[in-house]
Amino acid sequence: MKIGPKYKICRRLNDKVFAKCQTTKFSISGSAQNKTFKKRGWRNASEYGSQLLEKQKARYTYGMNERQFAQYVKKHREQAGLFSALETRLDNVVFRLGWVTSRAAARQAVTHGHIVVNDRRLSIPSYQVKIGDRIKIMTTSRNLGLFRGLEERLKDYQTAAWLAVETVGEGAILATPLAGGTEMNLDFGAIIDFYSRV
């Protein structure tokens, strides 16, 4: 998915949806959200406008184009199911395990064939993992720049509760991701409501 200027998108969405925006150099004006709506002709953040904003935040957070994201919502019409489906994408799992610093880097790692699931090399970022799946970085890939210094990076990293880290570069799926544990800035109910009216 091609993404425009990340700082500009974060300011427009009034949220730090990209790793690049999660630094002290970047700040969001408290009135940014209202300015965005006014520019587009909404005097206040209407219900539709708020739902649209939530949808855009989620789409950029998970790095998906509109068509891909709409398909996920169409298939999963309740909050827990949608959240779980997005979280258990292989690229997101690689990110959640702390092996890379962004979902974009995770997508690159998967696409380039650096990730193995149940001893099978996969290159599909949208592959859905399930409970019991074992995931690891290809042994021959562990010295690449993408994963360099991984052991040091993981020392203070807090892994999501539904994942297990066995050794550096190896993990497993323990449970179904539950909404509220991560991505608390996203309102999945509003996202589903948005698609139910378009």
Q: Dihedral sign, CA of 117, 120, 125, 127?
A: negative
**Residue 42 identity:** W
pLDDT of residue 148: 85
Q: Is residue 133 part of a domain?
A: yes
Same domain, 138 and 109: yes
* 117: pLDDT strictly greater than 90: yes
Average confidence (pLDDT) over 152-166? 91
Query: Looking at the 3D structure of the chain, how many domains does it have?
Result: 2
Q: Is residue 1 part of a domain?
A: no
CA dist., res. 86 & res. 111, Å (int) = 17
CA dist., res. 157 & res. 159, Å (int) = 6
Same domain, 94 and 163: yes
In which band, very low, low, confident or very high, does the pLDDT at 149 lie, cut at 50, 70 and 90?
Answer: confident
CA dist., res. 165 & res. 186, Å (int) = 26
CATH code of the domain containing 76:
1.10.1050.10
| Closest by Cα among 109, 31, 28 to 63 | 109
Least reliable range by pLDDT among 39-43, 49-53, 58-62, 80-84: 39-43
pLDDT in tens, 15-53: 666 666 666 665 655 444 444 444 454 444 588 999 999
pLDDT > 90: what percent of the chain? 60
* 64: pLDDT strictly greater than 80: yes
Parent domain of 141: 89-173
Write down the mean pLDDT value for the chain.
84
pLDDT of residue 17: 64
* 173: pLDDT strictly greater than 90: yes
Same domain, 132 and 94: yes
Least reliable range by pLDDT among 6-15, 37-46, 164-173, 180-189: 37-46
CA dist., res. 179 & res. 52, Å (int) = 20
- Measured between its terminal Cα atoms, the distance across the chain in Å is 23
CA dist., res. 161 & res. 52, Å (int) = 30
Average confidence (pLDDT) over 59-66? 94
